[in-house]
Every structure is written in structure tokens, then in C-alpha cells.
Amino acid sequence: MLKKKEKEKIIEQLVDKFTRCSAAITTDYRGIAAKDMVKLRRVLRENGIEYHVSKNTLVRFAAQKVNISQLDSLLSGPLAVAFGYDDVTKPAKIINDFIRSSGVALKVTGGLVGDQILNAKQMIDLANIPSKDVLVARLASHLLVPLNLLHNVLSAPVQSLRNALQACVNQMEKA
């Protein structure tokens, strides 16, 4: 049984995590072997994601302190929360990849992205979104296509003039 001071300390840690995170993913870890949980924690830690197993009431109190009362709908059963601090898709991707590759029974129950509560399906959809770097690269390539077309259109008359002058020069050299 946790003492009141220990509970308050855990709540303050959770409040800190909720205020700093860009995404928090709730998972039901029932049925996972201890060795698989250790592997999951290692993979998440290596990617800058904190994974915290906590009592639902403590998570609820922490969420209420940071005005995320709608998180209550996700707080049932054994709960662990993955806190990601940079790319919002990263925790979802890593957890989803871990579930696929290891075949563990970890279940994503939902999550928090910014101030939006997402259900399990939405979190899986989030995991399937390409990374920020890939999206930026795609955007840059899409922006380059119209610029290249504009360049070709604007340079065509100059190319035609150059070709005509070159033909004149070639004709004068022959004469």
C-alpha cells in the first residue's frame, strides 16, 4: 500500500509528464510476460519515450490537475502510459511496431495528442502516418514540381531565341 506522500510524489511526476509530453498513449498490459515488458521498456527508453505503470486513480488525479478530465474514459483495467516528448506519432509507431514484431498481447486503449483524446483505432491510424521528416520531404517535392514547370515555361522563349541565334551563326559559318 502506498503512503500518502508517495502517492503525491507519483501524482506530481505524472503531472510533469503530462505537461511536457506531446503524446501520451494508454495501454493495457495484461497478459504480457515480464521479459517482454522489459524489452518494451528498453525499446521505448532508447527512443526517448517514458513508460509508466500506475494506478488509474493516480493518473486520473494527475490528469485533472492539468485539466485533462476527458482522459477518464481511458482509465480502466491495468494501465501503463507511454509519454512521448517530440514527434507525436513516434510513441504510437514504436508501440505498434513492437506489438507487430514481438506478437505480445499489449493492447493500445487510446491516448492523448495535444488536448485531443483519441481512441484505440485512432492511435493505430496515427501510428501509420509517415514520420515528420517523410512528410516534409514529400511536401518539398510537391512544391518543386510547379516551380520546375514555371522555370521551363519561362525559359522556353530564351531557349528558342538561343537556338535561332545558333542556327544563324551556323548558317553564316557555312557561307
**What are the tens digits of pLDDT across the range 76-107?**
888 999 999 988 889 999 999 999 998 888 89
Tell me, yes or no, whether 66 and 55 share the same domain. Answer: yes
CA distance 25 to 27: 6
**pLDDT tens track for 22-51:** 999 999 988 888 999 999 999 999 999 999
Contacts of 75 (CB under 8 A, 6+ apart): 26, 56, 59, 60
Average predicted confidence (pLDDT) for the chain: 88
Tell me, yes or no, whether 93 and 62 share the same domain. Answer: yes
Confidence of residue 168 (pLDDT cuts 50, 70, 90): confident
- Domain total of the chain: 2
| Amino acid type, 145 | V
Tell me, yes or no, whether 111 and 51 share the same domain. Answer: yes
Burial of 138 (0-12, 13-18, 19+ CB in 10 A): exposed
pLDDT value, residue 41:
93
Residue 119, domain extent: 4-129
Residue 50 · residue 62 · CB < 8 Å? no
The helix (run of H) or strand (run of E) holding residue 45 is: helix 34-46
pLDDT value, residue 129:
87
Tell me, yes or no, whether 40 and 95 share the same domain. Answer: yes
Q: What average pLDDT does range 60-68 have in this prediction?
A: 89
CATH code for position 25: 3.30.70.1730
Strand positions, DSSP E, the chain: 23-28, 50-54, 79-84, 107-113, 116-119
Tell me, yes or no, whether 20 and 55 share the same domain. Answer: yes
CA distance 74 to 72: 5
**pLDDT tens track for 122-138:** 998 988 888 778 888 98
Tell me, yes or no, whether 97 and 138 share the same domain. Answer: no
Tell me, yes or no, whether 79 and 137 share the same domain. Answer: no
Tell me, yes or no, whether 120 and 143 share the same domain. Answer: no
Strand positions, DSSP E, 57-119: 79-84, 107-113, 116-119
Tell me, yes or no, whether 80 and 151 share the same domain. Answer: no
Q: Which three cell numbers stand for residue 10?
A: 507519483
Tell me, yes or no, whether 147 and 75 share the same domain. Answer: no
Tell me, yes or no, whether 124 and 138 share the same domain. Answer: no
Cα–Cα nearest to 92, from 124, 118, 117, 61:
124
Tell me, yes or no, whether 73 and 153 share the same domain. Answer: no
CA distance 79 to 33: 15
Q: What are the backbone dihedrals phi and psi of residue 15, each rounded to the nearest 5 degrees, phi first?
A: -60, -45
